[in-house]
Amino acid sequence: MMKQLPADYLKRMSELPGLNFGEFLKSYEKEPVRALRFTGKARPDTIQKLVDEWSLQPVNWCERGWRYDGSLRPGLSPYHDAGVYYIQDPGAMYVAEAAGITDNDVILDLCAAPGGKTTRAAELGNFVLSNEIIPGRAKILSSNIERLGLSNTIVCQTTPERIASEFPAYFDAVFVDAPCSGEGMMRKDDTAIAEWSPANVELCEARQTEILDHADKTLSEGGKLIYSTCTFEPCENELQIRKFLSSHPGYELIKEHTVYPHLEEGEGQYFAILIKGGRHSAGSERKEPEKIRKNLQQGLASSGIHILRSGLMKGEYIQDKKKGRIYVPSHAEIMASSFDKPASENAVNLMDEQTAVRFLSGNVLREEDQDLIIRNNIDGYLGVYFDGYPLGLGKKTGNVIKNHLPKGLRRLS
């Protein structure tokens, strides 16, 4: 069924040269394209298992990306809670893959929530400062980074202007996934239709210009600026970049692409990759991630910028009545670890999906549960895993494992 799209939007699209407007319009009669990206946690056997069971189809431009049928709900699987994959539009996957990030790059993601580009950049690069100005979205960003078990990141909440002031010419690569008019979301999100207007397009264009100016100030010579939107508006895309190039001499545009839903498997995405001052360079000497983290954290803290997450959040020592002073791992530590633990460490591995969902819903586990495999019978805190992937913390007392998942992460059903 054809969506009721804004008349002004349709008129603007019909005037785009070379678009083939008729075929573009027909794309709105089709179901949205849905996809997931396997993370660095995912073992080859798990990837193959899910590809087969879920009949996944490859995303051409992302070797870890796979499309799935709209009837599937991968967000409900314990593999999702364990950070085995990230649900992401195929077009959005294109950006980080095309950026040419190296493992020595120190990266800034200036408008980062919900975290699709940040999490991939953290897998490819050295360290990521991930910023989101809106509090609720910043919390979602932080949660996604924790779920994927990434420790080479800091999440902060501030304006692009303040970051530019604190870290001039600091970063090797800067992602600007700019706030935009959201036309590429219209096929799957009616809110994008309701909120679209010519006035909002103009507002977004002005905001993008300002953000790009701040991004430029944070980027070192030889650094990459990776700009993206999920709209088709030339004034927010190609023309925005031409305007930036004319006002910021020394940049070179090395790649530019728009994903249109009638031409490629995606909802809609534009991106441009520019190099500042010639050839990309992150330096030949390997930068120590922990030193980078401390330097960034010090700069943020000294300016009063709110930090939601810095590296791997540690647990704490508590006083136990029987054992004395003991260490309780944080949820982040559990999520960053793997099931390949020393034999002396407590761990429980669940192999049944329903049992895993029960745990994720906040329920206790019992030793007599059929699929419960306990690595150690010592009472105390232990990691709870599903098929070898971390879900969270539990505490074993006798034959019962009490749930210690953070309450905000527990499923409602």
Enzyme catalytic residues: 230
Report the number of secondary-structure helices (H) and strands (E) in the chain: 14, 20
**In a 3-state reduction of DSSP, which class is residue 409?**
helix
Which among 91, 81, 139 is positioned nearest to 115, based on CA atoms?
Answer: 139
**In a 3-state reduction of DSSP, which class is residue 65?**
strand
Cα(28)–Cα(25) distance, integer angstroms: 6
Cα(355)–Cα(367) distance, integer angstroms: 12
Which residues 6+ apart lie within 8 Å of 243 measured at CB?
A: 209
**In a 3-state reduction of DSSP, which class is residue 131?**
strand
User: In this structure, what token pair is assigned to residue 362?
Assistant: 């906040």
Q: In this structure, are residues 404 and 395 in contact, taking their beta carbons and an 8 Å threshold?
A: yes
Q: How far is CA 33 from CA 70, 339, 345, 402, in A?
A: 8, 33, 43, 40
Sheet holding 153-157, edge to edge: 251-259, 269-276, 219-229, 171-177, 106-109, 127-131, 153-157, 306-310
